[in-house]
Amino acid sequence: MKKVLLVLLLITFAIACNRSKLPAIAPDVITEFTLNDTDDPAIWIHPDDTSKSIVFGTDKESNGAIYAFDLNGKILEDKTIRNIERPNNVDIEYGFQLNDSTLTDVLVFTEREKQQIRMFSIPDMKPLDKGGFPVFEDESVIAHRLPMGVALYKSPKDSQVYAIVGRKTGPSDGYLYQYRFSSDSLGVTSDLVRKFGKFSGEKEIEAIAVDDEKGFVYYSDEGVCIRKYYAEPSKGNEEISCFGGEHFMADIEGIAIATYENGDGYLIVSNQQKGEFNIFSRNANQFVKAVNLSTTETDGCEVVTVPLNNTFTNGLFVAMNDEKNFYFYDLGKLGLK
């Protein structure tokens, strides 16, 4: 027991010694606490009044939830989805074709213990999935069927919406599954369209992000690099690049993509154990700088670049914090423009 305690103390000391030495940037808003373990956020922009936009965040446990927060960090109970069995990651897409006359924004998240993904409409928060869409059904190993990361892609070719899903562990190739959502008079269905993506086998893959406009999917092979592929299934499964690993202390975690109208932008990626975020250029994927946003052990993060209210005049960056909450920052604090 003494040896175990000594090892734990040494690990804690090592992490403390390697915390960021960059100036700490304080958040503008800290959310109310969740019940269990925060993990990943998503931001929904209200189409008529951006000050009424909602930040969703997963609370990762068997009695978990998808919390909804207003821009002051207060929990919106009527928008919160409870009794979810270990929700992990969450994403949002706009304008899903629900039927011939109806478009709706959708929220999709993984429910690990039920080996499925869920889909709800926003802002009325109605389930569209008849209880859930199973994932990784062809895997015989249970550990390979436990979903973690998810990102949504809306094709500029035909407006088709896809979910790209990762899992707790999996094979060295074909780690990600891509599902196409379709809707008819009987409801929404989810169909597997491809398997792709390399995995080093070193740690795990959780964070996934899609650049709809550029048509790229990025994901964190946690101990190795950020991997980049085409999001459009017809463009094939060859890896485009594996970059950035040398800029991380240990785990490469959450990925947020800041996009601007001129085509420029940034990838903001959590350097978890160092307490920093590494920023890469959107177009060349070159390292730009690191920032210390004063969070601890950040998993997921998300960003929007449009003004939302008097606090977030430059856009909003949201980061998970390891104290059962999320931190909100005006995007201008990151000094990206």
For 6-28, the pLDDT digits (tens) are: 334 433 443 443 478 999 999 99
**Is the pLDDT score of 5 beyond 90?**
no
Structure pTM?
Answer: 0.94
R_g of the chain computed on alpha carbons = 19
Are 315 and 335 contacting, i.e. CB atoms less than 8 angstroms apart?
no
What pLDDT is stored for residue 322 in this prediction? Answer: 95
Nearest to 276 by CA among 294, 258, 262, 259: 294
d(CA 241, CA 172): 16
Mean pLDDT in residue range 66-85: 98
Tokens 């899992």, located at residue: 167
Beta strands in 100-186 (DSSP E): 102-111, 116-122, 133-134, 147-154, 161-167, 173-184
- Distance, in Å, from the CA atom of 275 to the CA atom of 291, rounded to the nearest integer, reads 9
Helix (H, G, I), strand (E, B) or coil at 226: strand
Q: Supply the pLDDT for residue 2.
A: 46
> pLDDT value at position 19?
78
* Cα gap 197→219, rounded to integer Å: 9
For the chain, domains (ranges, CATH) are: 85-243 (2.120.10.30)
Q: Write the CA distances from 4 to 7, 14, 133, 259, integer angstroms.
A: 5, 15, 42, 46
